[in-house]
Structure 1
Amino acid sequence: MRRTLLLAAAFAVAATAVPTTEVFAQSRDRGGADRQEQEAAKKRKRDEEWGNAQSPLPALRNAGPCPYVKTLYDAARYIEFAEGREASANVGFSGEIQGISAGCAYKDDEPIKVRVEVLFEMGRGPQAQGSSKTYRYWVAVTQRNQAVLAKQYFDVPVNFPDGQDRVYVTDTIDEITIPRASLTTSGANFEVLIGFDVTPQMAAFNRDGKRFRVNAGQAGDATSNP
């Protein structure tokens, strides 16, 4: 699905802009080396089972560095728990942002145009109602490590085929337009952050480093704690 996100010209930011209150902060992963090894093993297993579903974006010309594009850690996963109880048997629908591909283009005094592809892995647990779910995620453009300039929500409808409890979905944002105040304003002044629309409980679960497999609750699955 193709999307667009446009910032109003009034939000153009100069390279020498005065710092404002920081709105987004990347939470630290507390697992250290052990967690990195677990994540690497998980990715290898997923690639073996499903193959590498990401495709590189076509190269785009640009006159300077691109904005930083990344997932906000607290919103990188979406897990529903029946009755609010954190147990694999209580998992409803779940999702995880597995990868992001991005490219940008700008020259002279033109605005920065960013194209982003987001790879999601969606799961259906034992408490999921029905075989379809519309997930919601957001994309925010910020002055790097400072104020939010624009934020927009997108819906991703997902249908789970019979007998499948997880699927991969790629969503494309064809163009994010970021005005520039001058020729010296480069993409490095901005960040593009991406995350699921999560509840406070989900954000706390992610922040604490707790994890379930995306198809948690199915036979053979186990809870994985930090």
Structure 2
Amino acid sequence: MRRLALAISAISVLATALPGVAEAQSRERPDGRDRNERPGAEGQDQERARPRPLAPLRRQANVGPCPFVKILYDAARYVELENNQASASAVGYTGEIEGVSAGCSYQGDEPITVDFNVLFNLGRGPQAQGDQRTYRYWVAVTERNRAILSKEYFDLPVNFDGQQTAQIEQQQRVVIPRAEATTSGGNFEILIGFDVTPEMAAFNRTGSRFRPQAGVGGAQ
């Protein structure tokens, strides 16, 4: 419900030297009419047309914390290596999940709705064939530090348009049912990662990496 915010200011007039002038000023308006005079139709129209400041809508707080949203380290990067050779000359397509921002909402016994943005940096190395590539990534909901509750895969089509790198942001939404009203969002985690091969995961696990501009740089 919108409520008008009315700002009321109290002005004290001290007029000891010229009480008559002060009394006249208190009665008169800037247009010369008496303040006690009722405005005519024109004045009423002007009053109705005058914009009223609106107070900002209140945002209701959640009944508990939001789920943790994380990037899985082993799947945070996607690096194609020809013949599994860890050298810049062997790099094909690359990808890196640069970051994620998220927020959630839930009240009473409602399910937890989590909206988040994922930022991807993609690249083409010397072994990349073509200007287009469809990457694949997944989003998993887990019971915190326990089992996976759900996992969904998404396609990420990229057109490099003649460039070596591209940056894409995708928006996603996850809805998590709750067994009861006392179930907190802190009991859940949302994990994000590329759909990588075991070899890619092992390469990521070593801490080695090729940035998206690997086509013009070396291993880092």
Task: Extract unaligned runs of 5+ from structure 1.
Answer: 1-58
Secondary structure of 1:74's partner? helix
CA gap of 1:204–1:187, structure 2 versus 1, over 3 A, is same
Is the contact made by 1:77 and 1:95 (CA closer than 8 Å) also made in structure 2?
A: yes
Letter in 2 for 1:216: A
Identity %: 59
CA gap of 1:158–1:60, structure 2 versus 1, over 3 A, is farther
Question: How far apart, CA to CA, are the structure 2 residues paired with 1:104 and 1:68?
Answer: 10
Question: How far apart, CA to CA, are the structure 1 residues paired with 2:67 and 2:61?
Answer: 14
Task: Extract unaligned runs of 5+ from structure 2.
Answer: 1-58
Is the contact made by 1:90 and 1:217 (CA closer than 8 Å) also made in structure 2?
A: no
What's 1:223 paired with?
219
Question: How far apart, CA to CA, are the structure 1 residues paired with 2:208 and 2:60?
Answer: 37
Secondary structure of 2:135's partner? strand
What's 2:176 paired with?
178
What's 1:107 paired with?
107
What's 2:66 paired with?
66
Q: Which has the higher contact order (CA 8 A, sep 6+)?
A: 1
Question: How far apart, CA to CA, are the structure 2 residues paired with 1:192 and 1:185?
Answer: 16
> C-alpha displacement at 1:60, in angstroms?
8.3
Q: Does 1:140 align with 2:140?
A: yes
Q: How does 1:137-176 map to 2 (within 5 A)?
A: 137-162=137-162, 164-173=163-172, 175-176=173-174
What's 1:123 paired with?
123
Letter in 2 for 1:105: S
Answer with 1 or 2: which has the greater Rg. Answer: 2
1:59-82 per-position Cα deviation (integer Å, ceiling 9, x unaligned): 885221000000000000000011
> C-alpha displacement at 1:217, in angstroms?
2.9
Question: How far apart, CA to CA, are the structure 2 residues paired with 1:201 and 1:179?
Answer: 35
Q: Does 1:211 align with 2:209?
A: yes
TM-score (norm 1): 0.70
Secondary structure of 1:89's partner? helix
Is the contact made by 2:86 and 2:219 (CA closer than 8 Å) also made in structure 1?
A: no
Letter in 1 for 2:211: R
Is the contact made by 1:216 and 1:222 (CA closer than 8 Å) also made in structure 2?
A: yes
Is the contact made by 2:131 and 2:159 (CA closer than 8 Å) also made in structure 1?
A: yes
Question: How far apart, CA to CA, are the structure 2 residues paired with 1:197 and 1:204?
Answer: 13
> C-alpha displacement at 1:84, in angstroms?
1.9
CA gap of 1:177–1:74, structure 2 versus 1, over 3 A, is same
TM-score (norm 2): 0.72
1:131-152 per-position Cα deviation (integer Å, ceiling 9, x unaligned): 0000000000000010000000
Is the contact made by 1:112 and 1:177 (CA closer than 8 Å) also made in structure 2?
A: yes
Aligned-residue CA RMSD (Å): 1.2
What's 1:188 paired with?
186
> C-alpha displacement at 1:194, in angstroms?
0.2
After TM superposition, which residue ranges in structure 1, 4 or more long, deviate above 6 angstroms? none
Question: How far apart, CA to CA, are the structure 2 residues paired with 1:210 and 1:60?
Answer: 45
Question: How far apart, CA to CA, are the structure 2 residues paired with 1:172 and 1:138?
Answer: 13
Question: How far apart, CA to CA, are the structure 1 residues paired with 2:181 and 2:61?
Answer: 16
Is the contact made by 1:104 and 1:114 (CA closer than 8 Å) also made in structure 2?
A: yes
> C-alpha displacement at 1:183, in angstroms?
1.3
